[in-house]
Chain A
Amino acid sequence: MTTANGKNAAPVMKAENLGITFGGLHAVSGFDMELYEGDLVGLIGPNGAGKTTVFNLLTGVYQPTEGNFYLNGKSMLGKRPHQMVEAGIARTFQNIRLFQDLTVLDNVKVAFNQSMTYSALEGILRLPRYWKEEEEIDRKARDILSVFHMENEVAQKAKNLPYGRQRKLEIARAIATGAKILLLDEPAAGMNPTETAELMETITLIRTRFGMSILLIEHDMSLVMSICERIVVIDYGQIIAAGTPYEIANDPRVIGAYLGQDSE
């Protein structure tokens, strides 16, 4: 395998035979994939195929019942979600999960928590480290938000943002964790075509700007086909095809899976 820019390198993320069973239901099984630095890979499949479950496995929300996965060569079995962030993987959610009553700025600042070092006592007593670090993340958080053109909404409560902006805020927050691998779960869901186009631009921008590797779940085929270099298709929890958008679009199994779903 080669990276997006054609160089040979070790994968930043690798899943080997990953799987999980919920009381007899094989939600995901035999999931193999490699993500290289700078990759933008699409993960598609019909409803209930197991896409979100793959994300939950990769972020420590669920523990796999089979297989293993590695970040930068290290096994991540048994890690809790907050430890996965530390290890360098962050995500967004299919149904938006923001900190509703916090401001836009604070939503992003929360995600810097792991990169900050002052203790709770230093925070209460407002010792020098508190001021230094707070000032620093205030600047960084505003920087990230400006990439999303949200610098004028910093003081708003997250719940008062329009839908499209809430999606963006979730991505901004994931970036603020400092993770280099980003998992986006249907970021364009519920967006209108203009918002979707804008979002596609933003996703390609953050990849270069923040040097991230991105795995993207998306139902909007045109979005996936236009921005991803590689696509992995799953159905009934198993990979049925993987390759370039062109290969995927012409794969009979993929067409079958989607047609099969349509006729249900």
Chain B
Amino acid sequence: MKKLSKASVNGFINYGIVIAAFLVLQLMIARGMISNTLKSLLVPVCCYIVMAISLNLTVGILGELSLGHAGFMSLGAFSGIVTAMALPDAAPGLRLVAAILVGSVAGALGGVLVGVPVLRLQGDYLAIVTLAFGEIIRNIIVVLYIGLDEKGLHVTTNSAGPTLGEGGVMVIKGPMGAVGVPKLASFTAGFLLVLVTLFVVQNLVASRAGRAIMALRDNRIAAESVGIHVTKYKLMAFVISAALAGAAGALFGLNYSSTVSSKFGFNTSILILVFVVLGGLGSIRGSILSAALLYILPEMLRGFEFITKARMLIYAIILIAVMLTINNPALKTLLEERDLSPAGLLGRLKGKTKEKGGAGR
């Protein structure tokens, strides 16, 4: 291509921001300029950035509402943990990569399971089904007991746990979640995963599939009328989104010595949705920045006694204030002109329902 399109310039800027942030943070770590609290947040921040970008693919780019993104993260986390623990003798890097790959496959399978029946339907069914899915996954993992021995994997829902052979270890202990997890995750791995996510999502959007997905979002009937296969492209976007969430989950799971499934409940799904909406539907950069800032901010505020107590309240007030500001018409036009429009979720959804309700073709 002779000339770089605006979209690809934007894409390069996103890589630039992520790489620059990584280098600056690495430098600060090397010089001991970073508190331990902040350091401990680096891996989860990367995970949440991946979660936000991938959810944006479903909500902002495909235009379908998902309320259970954390469910895919959960699938990735626990399958990733099992994978890493099943390969005790492999090199740590290899274990991590294998875990992330398995995690993304698990996420993708979850995406297919939810997407195949639901995405054929017209209307906002995805929201309600993903919500249920997230809760179902959480409740299933709570009753699972998974152990590993030389014979392989043992799964049971019996609270006595599976009987393991000699040298066997329990990986997931029902309500206690995954225990004794090797902490394989690292900031560098998180950084690389963010880059891979950017690469996948940005290149997808700039391809014929991405155009088809956005066309579906803007006008399903018109998209069909120019030959777009609705279910195929909806499913593609949704499954890729779920796979990336699975990958993020695997990294997240391997960052702590134990993980419980309630970490990936409805609240987490909504938190990620808030990141996406505040960052701007369809804006990848917005997702990166809002996930990073909004994840770190409340964690930092934990330090102050008063703030600890009122943390969620302050957080909510900030969210409402931001929502009101970004819905200010004057500001909106300004942002729109600059192509940064963080169109409010509600406005967007209202518009969408109207469109779907309209019988006229």
How many chain B residues touch A (Cβ–Cβ < 8 Å)? 32
Q: Please determine whether A113 and B203 come into contact, CB atoms closer than 8 angstroms.
A: no
Indicate whether A167 reaches chain B with its CB closer than 8 angstroms: no
- The main secondary structure of chain B at its interface with chain A is helix
Which residues of B318-361 are within 8 A (CB) of A? 360-361
CB distance from A71 to the nearest CB of B (A): 14
CB-CB nearest in chain A for B341: A101
CB distance from B198 to the nearest CB of A (A): 11
Indicate whether B226 reaches chain A with its CB closer than 8 angstroms: yes
- The main secondary structure of chain A at its interface with chain B is helix
Q: Please determine whether B361 and A56 come into contact, CB atoms closer than 8 angstroms.
A: yes
CB-CB nearest in chain B for A118: B208
CB distance from A103 to the nearest CB of B (A): 9
Q: Please determine whether A110 and B203 come into contact, CB atoms closer than 8 angstroms.
A: no
**Given the complex, which residues of B lie within 8 Å of A109, measured CB to CB?**
208, 211
Q: Chain B 169-207 against A: per-residue CB contact (8 Å), 1 yes, 0 no?
A: 000000000000000000000000000000110011011
Q: Given A95-B360, A97-B219, A116-B208, are A82 and B228 also a contact pair (CB < 8 Å)?
A: yes
Q: Please determine whether A99 and B214 come into contact, CB atoms closer than 8 angstroms.
A: yes
Q: How far is the CA of A124 from the CA of B244 in the complex (A)?
A: 14
Q: Please determine whether A124 and B226 come into contact, CB atoms closer than 8 angstroms.
A: no
Q: Please determine whether A82 and B227 come into contact, CB atoms closer than 8 angstroms.
A: yes
Q: Please determine whether B208 and A102 come into contact, CB atoms closer than 8 angstroms.
A: no
Indicate whether A61 reaches chain B with its CB closer than 8 angstroms: yes
**Given the complex, which residues of A lie within 8 Å of B360, measured CB to CB?**
94-95
Q: Please determine whether B211 and A126 come into contact, CB atoms closer than 8 angstroms.
A: no
Which residues of A101-121 are within 8 A (CB) of B? 101-102, 106-107, 109-114, 116, 118, 120
Q: Please determine whether A135 and B203 come into contact, CB atoms closer than 8 angstroms.
A: no
Indicate whether B299 reaches chain A with its CB closer than 8 angstroms: no
Q: Please determine whether A113 and B208 come into contact, CB atoms closer than 8 angstroms.
A: yes
Q: Please determine whether A101 and B218 come into contact, CB atoms closer than 8 angstroms.
A: yes
Which of A29-37, A171-179, A186-194 interfaces with chain B?
A171-179
Q: Please determine whether B227 and A114 come into contact, CB atoms closer than 8 angstroms.
A: yes
Q: Please determine whether A123 and B226 come into contact, CB atoms closer than 8 angstroms.
A: no
Number of A-B contacts (CB under 8 A): 109
Q: How far is the CA of A111 from the CA of B212 in the complex (A)?
A: 9
Q: Please determine whether B199 and A124 come into contact, CB atoms closer than 8 angstroms.
A: yes
Indicate whether B224 reaches chain A with its CB closer than 8 angstroms: yes
Q: Please determine whether B361 and A93 come into contact, CB atoms closer than 8 angstroms.
A: yes
**Given the complex, which residues of A lie within 8 Å of B208, measured CB to CB?**
109, 112-113, 116, 118, 123, 133-134
Among candidates B6, B204, B227, B282, residue contacting A120 with C-beta atoms closer than 8 Å: B204
Which of A84-92, A201-209, A250-258 interfaces with chain B?
A84-92
Indicate whether B225 reaches chain A with its CB closer than 8 angstroms: yes
How many chain A residues touch B (Cβ–Cβ < 8 Å)? 46
Q: Please determine whether A155 and B6 come into contact, CB atoms closer than 8 angstroms.
A: yes
Q: How far is the CA of A225 from the CA of B38 in the complex (A)?
A: 75
Which residues of A41-88 are within 8 A (CB) of B? 52, 56, 59, 61, 80-82, 85-86
Q: Please determine whether B200 and A124 come into contact, CB atoms closer than 8 angstroms.
A: yes
Q: How far is the CA of A131 from the CA of B2 in the complex (A)?
A: 11
Q: Given A86-B227, A110-B212, A113-B228, are A126 and B219 also a contact pair (CB < 8 Å)?
A: no
Q: How far is the CA of A264 from the CA of B204 in the complex (A)?
A: 54
CB-CB nearest in chain A for B229: A82
Q: Please determine whether B212 and A113 come into contact, CB atoms closer than 8 angstroms.
A: yes
Q: Please determine whether B199 and A131 come into contact, CB atoms closer than 8 angstroms.
A: no
Indicate whether A125 reaches chain B with its CB closer than 8 angstroms: yes
Among candidates A56, A90, A95, A134, residue contacting B226 with C-beta atoms closer than 8 Å: A90
Q: How far is the CA of A52 from the CA of B203 in the complex (A)?
A: 38
Q: Please determine whether A81 and B224 come into contact, CB atoms closer than 8 angstroms.
A: yes
Q: How far is the CA of A227 from the CA of B340 in the complex (A)?
A: 45
Indicate whether B230 reaches chain A with its CB closer than 8 angstroms: yes
CB distance from B15 to the nearest CB of A (A): 14
Q: Please determine whether B225 and A98 come into contact, CB atoms closer than 8 angstroms.
A: no
CB distance from A55 to the nearest CB of B (A): 8
**Given the complex, which residues of B lie within 8 Å of A177, measured CB to CB?**
226-227
Considering the complex of A and B, which 3 residue pairs feature the smallest CB-CB distances, nearest first? Answer: A123-B207, A85-B227, A97-B222
Provide 30 A-B residue pairs closer than 8 Å at the C-beta atoms, listed in order of the A residue: A59-B225, A81-B221, A82-B228, A85-B225, A85-B227, A90-B225, A93-B221, A94-B361, A97-B222, A98-B222, A99-B214, A99-B215, A101-B214, A101-B217, A101-B282, A102-B218, A107-B215, A110-B215, A111-B226, A113-B212, A116-B208, A120-B207, A120-B236, A124-B200, A124-B204, A125-B203, A134-B208, A138-B1, A174-B225, A177-B226
